[in-house]
Structure 1
Amino acid sequence: MNKLLMVLGSSVMLLAACGGEEVTDEGDETEEDQEFTLEELGEYDGQDGNEAYVAVDGVVYDVTDVEEWEDGVHDPAGGLEAGDDHTEEIEEAPHGTDVLEDLPTVGTLEE
């Protein structure tokens, strides 16, 4: 009987710890769903505490935590600035678009 009570008590504690809240993402807009105008993208320049975003081929990437984009400036590329569309520049870059594969996407650039 004691074992049964212990099992039931453990089960109740486990259920209580889970909280019973229903998790749903219905109606929640994630950052990946955002559509940016070029003007809005410009606000994400990596300066003054802002996130650093860049667009390439219509996709907006978060480069905030990328060392090469410190303070929103990509020094190895001659000082490219975050908050802009760099589709043309990346085509000329020695690394090409491979560097984009592991970056988080936050949305798309409005055409």
Structure 2
Amino acid sequence: MKKYRKTLIAIVVLLLLAGTGCARQQPADDTSASTESPQLELTLEELAAYNGKDGNPAYIAVDGVIYDVSDSSKWKDGEHNGYSARQDLTDIIKSKSPHGVSVLSRMPVVGKIVE
């Protein structure tokens, strides 16, 4: 019986130590936001630099949110169906686009428009 008791005590001690080690690895507060890329805050004038040309990323704004469309094959060189990246396309996407805002969920959000 003593043999089992020592084994049980050893297991409890190991579990306690393992639990303590895990607790130390977790941050004290929620720092998940710190692992995300920082969000840009751009005016519409600043957004104009992100045209998808000459090595610049292609950004569009819709409802104040800035999306990176650089990796989309539909936005080659910052152009798509006669429209250019670097601008607020809220009205165009909501009123003229056959897909509407649905495809934006596949685009990375990189920031927001500020005044």
Report the TM-score when normalising by structure 2.
0.66
Quick check: 1:99 aligned with 2:106? no
| Cα shift readout 1:32-84 (whole Å, capped 9, x = no counterpart) | x211101110000001110000000000000001001000000xx3x100100
Q: Which runs of 5 or more residues in structure 1 are unaligned?
A: 1-23
Indicate the residue corresponding to 2:68 in structure 1.
62
Larger radius of gyration: 2
Which structure dedicates a bigger proportion of its chain to helix? Answer: 2
1:30 Cα offset (Å): 2.8
The one of 19, 29, 37 aligned to 1:30: 37
> C-alpha distance in 2, partners of 1:27/1:68?
31
Structure 2 distance, partners of 1:67, 1:41, is 21
Identify unmatched segments of 5+ residues in structure 2: 1-30
Secondary structure, in 3 states, of the residue corresponding to 2:54? coil
Q: Could you tell me how far apart the structure 1 residues matched to 2:55 and 2:72 are? A: 15
State whether structure 2 residue 56 is matched by structure 1 residue 53: no
Could you say what secondary structure the match of 2:106 adopts? Answer: coil
Distance 1:67 1:28 in 2: 28
Rounded Cα–Cα distance in structure 1 between residues aligned with 2:76 and 2:87: 15
Q: Which 4+ stretches in 1 moved above 4 angstroms? A: 24-29
Q: Give the letter for the 2:43 counterpart.
A: T
Q: CA deviation at 1:25?
A: 7.9
Q: Which amino acid letter does the alignment assign opposite residue 61 of structure 1?
A: Y
Amino acid at match of 1:30: S
1:72 aligned residue: 78
Q: Distance in 2 between matches of 1:99 and 1:48?
A: 25
RMSD: 2.2
Q: How high is the TM-score relative to the length of structure 1?
A: 0.69
